[in-house]
Amino acid sequence: MIGSIILTFALVFSIISMIMYFLNFKGYRNTISYARIFYHLCSIFVIVASTFLWYYLLTHQYQYKYVFSYSNNSLSTGLLLSSFWGGQEGSFMLWILLTVVVGIILQSYTSKRGDLEPRVMTIFTLAISFLLLMVSPWFKNPFEYIWVNPIFVDLKSINSIYLDLPFLQQFLFPDPQTNTTYVQVSSTLFASLVQNGIDPNTFIVNGRGLNPQLLNFWMQIHPPILFIGFAMATVPFAFAVSALMKNEYKDWVSQSFPWLLVGTGILGLGIMLGGYWAYEMLGWGGYWAWDPVENSSLIPWLIGVAAIHTMLVQKKSQSQSEGIGRYAKTNLILSILVYILVLYSTFLTRSGVLGDASVHSFVDPGMLAYLFLIIFISSFTLLGLGLIVYRWKYLKSEVPQDEGLFSRELSLFTASVVLCASAIIVFVGTSAPIVGRSVDISFYNEMHVPLAIIVGLLNGLSLLLKWKTTSTQELLSKSVIYLAISVVVTVIIILFGGVNDIMMILLAFSSIFTIIVNGEIAIKIVKNNFDKLGAYVAHIGLAIFILGVIGSSAYSNEKTLNLVKGKPTEAFGYQMVFTGYEPIENATKYAFNINMNKDGKTFNASPVMYIAEYNNSLMREPSIVVLPTKDIYIAPLSYEQTGDHDHSGSVSIEKGKSVKYENITLTFEKFEMGSDVMQAMQEGRDFQLGAVLSAISDNKNISFILYRKQSGDKVEFTSFESKELNLRVELLNLSAQGVELSLSKLDEPKETVKKEAEEVLVVNASIKPFVSLVWIGVLVVVIGFFIAFSKRLKESQLSN
Amino acid sequence: MKNKYIIGGFIIVLFLGIMGYLFTQSNIKYENNLALVKSTHKTVKATGSWVKEKKYTYDSENNLFQFYMKDDKGEEMLVVYRGAMPNNFESATSVVVTGSYQDNYFYAKDILTKCPSKYQEQPAAQSSSL
């Protein structure tokens, strides 16, 4: 309750701040101090609300639906803290929290730069207001009580002292499929509890917990970093719109540039961490699956990078006294699109439209939230693009001269166009499920190879071109040496690396060209001008990344192996031996140890498999052996023990049904359950379940009971023999569906074709050459972004 | 300004053209009518549910996973997938398989399982490949 109130206040403050900032922009001078006070109040309230959510999670207050749905008693403190963003409501909260923090820095930044603050902060507080509306009680409120809407809660999560309450019976729902009983928690139950003098807050004592795939280190850092990127995407939007508001397009470029650089850098890092998580933990087999959720954050990143290139030109041409500079319209449009696409990404992943298409599943948010998201996106699209249309006439009058064909301006613009083309392709492919279509992964891969080749060539070429214009002769004489070196290196790669696909050769060539041109310049300037290094570092990183992609995906080798325990199997030149499994992490998971041997060197891999209680499913975690030139990636598939159990010849009988065996009719009459079985199951005590069976032949009728006895983790089954009927009945399994029996005659010795027991581990092994270049490449790119940021931050101060 | 429009326009038109072509060639439709799935060799995303009575099999030697799925009209088909049983498969209530119908079975390149149990919202899991 208190959380919702705080958030509502934050929303009100945010709206007041927005109005005050807008009035200040309209000329009311004294409103600015109110605007600032209310903005800071809004920030403080958001921070306090977030603290409350964290506090509720840490103290297990399961009366809050969010806390119940995404945490439980067994989570470590780190994971409890990160369950904050385990669900939709909380990830909106995280987004808001990071946005208000970015806003505090932005407020201070803009207040030092002319009359920027009222315009930028009007737009920024507008965005915050929309986000705060999203977590208001009408939509996705993280502070909703569990009683509000009916929800099924596992009986195990209920405080055991209340289990005997008579009125509880009417809220119980057994689920025979999973052998669990659920309590329907609703406002009616809440009323009954209060009536009986029970504190409802003590009723639920455990939560559902997090999806097991999220229970690791990456959950703690990937989402926050990604959301910092999302939060920072608001800033270029606010700057572009504020330029349109004032109808003045010169200064905003320098002022927005450092924000765009650092925001794009962080978003890129967040995307990469997601890829690394998928590779290292989730066992997707790769780092990029063109999954809609990955794609939808890639699209704004591509547009952001495109904007960086054209903004650089605008800045440069301003300094060469070309008025507002080149590509002013392009920059406005791209800056606005970055944020709109972030919103679109949210829409795609939160609205349920991709229900059938994504690994990441997000529960249908409900019609109201769906409509609100659409209103959110439409408002910002109308505001941003509408203002551009409104100012179009003026913008068109500010046309600089045509750029030369061989000019750095045009090559940077072309790079930006190529990035936009890539963004459009990903956009179309990702949005296809909305119209009931879907594209294959090959669609993205095939489209991006030629784009990447062009990017690589432009990357080197643009640096050989001078601003304004370059003579053809000069260009040729300059580039010939670089091209020659690139050709030589590419030939070496073809000969020694076995690269033979024409597209891959071109791609390798263009990446090497990039590295050589950028590398040479970087070495030249590193001594006296570290500041200017950013672009070159980022470009070299990109080229390294592309080489890594070529190696790891185009030349990856994959095999499914059946590893019999103790028997060496040969794969990729390695002797692999499965040596057995061992329980890890308090016996919640099992590590399957594999020894790999090559040329006297031994490596160990331990892929992990376990049954997750959360969703009752088999979960798998790969194991990766990282070598200097390649990764050996071992993804477990299954583990089987053969021979020690012969289930053939077994029969299943549902309750009340019969089967015929020889001349005997065997009927499963009913379950036999002690009165305290339920209680015992919950408390984890030993218990037994029985099945009452009857065997009828001619005029003999014998009734007997078979038991499934559980003590600790051990399960035993009983059997029954009758000389009269010449029958042996062994219980193999007993579940809500019925019993599984093995039937045999007493006078015929039971077929014990015990094969020699074999333990087989099935794994998918792959060799991924130079996959480490992918990570190194992206990190180098990010470092480049940060170097460029520090330079442009200084410039943004100089301009005032 | 001409150069800008010529070069930019050329790249955009070229790639959007290729994209449009590839999209019409390779786009995959969602189909919940298995009778229609069986009548074509086209790649589709067939949606339906796993027939629990007919058990699944996993042949580790050839790494083949097989099961039967049916649509809401009761039409059944055999699905063959090269790979292990996806996470969550046993508790799945609905299955989306991507692939095409061959002679008498559906060859799946990809399986996506969904478990919207009556009592729990459960996450989806996919066996994905890159």
| DSSP per-residue string spanning A195-262 | HTT--GGGTB-------GGG-SHHHHHHHHHHHHHHHHTHHHHHHHHHHHHHT--SHHHHHHHHHHHH
Name residues whose C-beta falls within 8 Å of residue A318's C-beta, 6 or more positions apart in sequence. A250, A253, A324, A325
B60 and B5 fall within a common domain: no
User: Quick one: tokens of A663?
Assistant: 């001349």
Q: How confident is the model at residue A357 (pLDDT cuts 50, 70, 90)?
A: low
AA letter at B73: K
Q: What is the percentage of chain A residues whose pLDDT exceeds 70?
A: 93
| Whether residue B12 is found in the same domain as residue B47 | no
A764 touches chain B (CB under 8 A): yes
Considering only CB atoms, B30 lies closest to which of A286, A436, A620, namely A436
Q: What is the pLDDT of residues A34-78, one digit of tens each?
A: 999 999 999 999 999 999 999 999 999 999 999 999 999 999 999
B47 vs A: CB within 8 A = yes
Nearest CA in chain A to B18: A447
Tell if the CB–CB gap between B88 and A175 is shorter than 8 Å: no
A356, A446, A560: residue with CB nearest B22: A446
Average pLDDT, chain A: 88
CB contact under 8 A, B7 and A417: yes
Would you call B8 and A208 a contact, using CB atoms and an 8 Å cutoff? no
User: Is the domain of B47 the same as that of B92?
Assistant: yes
More confident residue, A273 or A697: A273
B52 contacts in A (CB within 8 Å)?
none
Q: What is the pLDDT of residues B93-128, one digit of tens each?
A: 678 888 888 878 899 988 877 654 334 443 333 332
Question: Is residue B120 domain-shared with residue B67, that is, in the same domain?
Answer: yes
**Do the Cβ atoms of B63 and A560 come within 8 Å?**
yes
With cut-offs at 50, 70 and 90, classify the pLDDT of residue A716.
confident
* Parallel, antiparallel or unpaired: strands A437-438 and B28-31: antiparallel
What 3-state DSSP class applies to A662? coil
Residues B84, B107, single domain; the answer is yes
CA distances from A85 to A2, A80, A220, B27 (A): 20, 10, 9, 34
Return phi, psi of residue B79, to 5°.
-115, 130
Q: Which range is most confident: A223-227, A282-286, A358-362, A726-730?
A: A223-227
User: Using the beta-carbon criterion (under 8 Å), do B61 and A447 form an inter-chain contact?
Assistant: no
Q: Is B120 at the interface with chain A, CB within 8 A?
A: yes
* CA atoms of A490 and A497, how far apart (whole Å): 10
Q: Are residues B4 and B56 in the same domain?
A: no
- CA nearest to B31 within chain A: A436
| ipTM score for this prediction | 0.79
> Region A249-271: what's the mean pLDDT?
95
- Could you tell me the CATH number of the domain that includes residue B85? 2.40.50.140
Q: Nearest by CB to B26, which of A399, A442, A560?
A: A442
Q: What is the chain A residue with the closest CA to B43? A: A440
Contact A370, A407 (CB under 8 A): no
A758 CB-contact burial (10 Å; exposed 0-12 / middle 13-18 / buried 19+): middle
Are B119 and B71 members of one domain?
yes
Nearest by CB to A440, which of B8, B19, B28? B28
| pLDDT digit string, tens, across residues A170-208 | 888 887 766 788 898 999 999 999 998 889 899 999 999
Length of chain A, please?
A: 800
Residue B117 is predicted with a pLDDT of 39
Residue in chain B closest to A621 (alpha carbons) equals B87
Domains contained in chain B, number? 2
Would you give the DSSP letter of residue A471? Answer: -
Q: Which helix (H) or strand (E) holds A760?
A: strand A758-769
| Residue B1: predicted pLDDT | 55
- Which pLDDT score, from 0 to 100, does residue A742 have? 81
CA distance B24 to chain A (A): 9
pLDDT at residue A750, rounded to an integer:
58
The pLDDT of residue A146 = 93
- Alpha-carbon span A690 to A361, nearest angstrom: 40
Smallest CA–CA distance from A409 into chain B, residue: B4
Q: Print the domain residue range for B14.
A: 1-27
What is the model's pLDDT at position A517?
93
Strand B125-127 versus strand A738-744 pairing type: unpaired
- Do the Cβ atoms of A359 and B125 come within 8 Å? yes
Positive or negative, the CA dihedral A340, A266, A133, A428 is positive
Decide if A413 and B11 are in contact by the 8 Å CB cutoff: no
Do residues B84 and B113 share a domain?
yes
| Contact residues, A window 346-365, toward B, CB-based 8 Å cutoff | 356, 358-359, 361, 363
Indicate if B51 and B106 belong to the same structural domain.
Answer: yes
CB contact under 8 A, A616 and B91: yes
Residue A326, SS3 per DSSP: coil
Closest residue on chain B to A761 (Cα): B60
* Residues of chain A contacting residue B122, judged by C-beta atoms under 8 Å apart: 615
Q: Show the DSSP H helices in A1-30 as ranges.
A: 2-25
Q: How far apart are the first and last CA of chain A?
A: 47
Q: pLDDT at position A239, please? A: 97
pLDDT confidence of residue A647: 45
CB contact under 8 A, A439 and B125: no
Look at residue A256 in the predicted model and tell me its pLDDT.
96
DSSP letter (8 states) at residue A548: H
Assign A363 a pLDDT band (cuts: 50, 70, 90): low
B64 and B85 part of one domain: yes
Report yes or no: B36 at the A interface, CB cutoff 8 Å. no
B55 Cβ under 8 Å from any chain A Cβ: no
Higher local confidence (pLDDT), A402 or A523: A523
What pLDDT does A75 receive?
A: 93
Nearest to B119 among A182, A420, A443 (CB): A182
What pLDDT shows up at residue B127? 30
Pick from A615, A735, A740 the residue to mutate for testing the B interface (most B CBs within 10 Å).
A615
Q: Is residue A540 a contact partner of residue A519, using CB atoms and an 8 Å limit?
A: yes
Give residue A682's pLDDT band: very low, low, confident or very high (50, 70, 90).
Answer: low
CB contact under 8 A, A616 and B16: no
Q: Which of A68, A215, A356 to mutate to test the interface with B (most CBs of B within 10 A)?
A: A356
Q: What is the pLDDT of residue A60?
A: 96
Higher pLDDT, A578 or A666: A578
Per residue, the 3-state secondary structure of chain B, as one string, reads CHHHHHHHHHHHHHHHHHHHHHHHHHCEEEECCHHHHHCCCCCEEEEEEECCCCCCEEECCCCEEEEEEECCCCCEEEEEEECCCCCCHHHCCEEEEEEEECCCCEEEEEEEEECECCCCECCCEEECCC
The confidence score (pLDDT) of residue A641 equals 77
Strand partners, A668: A693
Mean pLDDT over A357-365 rounds to 53
From A617, A622, A472, A604, select the one nearest A558 (Cα to Cα): A622
Interface of A with B in 155-184 (CB under 8 A): 173, 175, 177-178, 180, 182
Q: Is A104 on the interface with B (CB under 8 A)?
A: no
A758 neighbors A565 (Cβ within 8 angstroms): yes
- Best-predicted range by mean pLDDT (A401-405, A560-564, A621-625): A621-625
Interface test with B, best of A417, A434, A453 (most B CBs within 10 A): A417
Rounded average pLDDT over A72-88: 93
Query: Which residue intervals of A465-593 are DSSP H helices?
Result: 472-497, 502-526, 534-549
Q: Which of A17-21, A164-168, A353-357, A572-576 shows the lowest mean pLDDT across its residues? A: A353-357
pLDDT in tens, A583-627: 998 888 999 999 999 888 999 999 999 888 787 777 889 999 999
- Which residues lie below 8 Å from residue A402, measured CB to CB, with a gap of 6+? B1, B2, B3, B4
Positions of chain B with pLDDT lower than 50, given as ranges: 116-130
Q: Do residues B4 and B66 share a domain?
A: no
Between A354 and A25, name the one with better pLDDT. A25
For residue A646, the model assigns a pLDDT of: 46
For the segment A2-22, the average pLDDT, to the nearest whole number, is 97
B93 with B122, same domain: the answer is: yes
Residue A135: C-alpha distances to residues A131, A138, A200, A619 (Å): 7, 8, 24, 33
Residues in chain A with CB shorter than 8 Å from the CB of B19 are 424-425, 428, 447
What value does the mean pLDDT take over residues A145-149? 91
Are B123 and A618 an interchain contact pair (Cβ–Cβ within 8 Å)? no
Predicted local confidence at residue A649, as pLDDT: 59
pLDDT of residue A793: 92
- Out of B45, B58, B125, the one facing A638 most closely (by C-beta) is B58
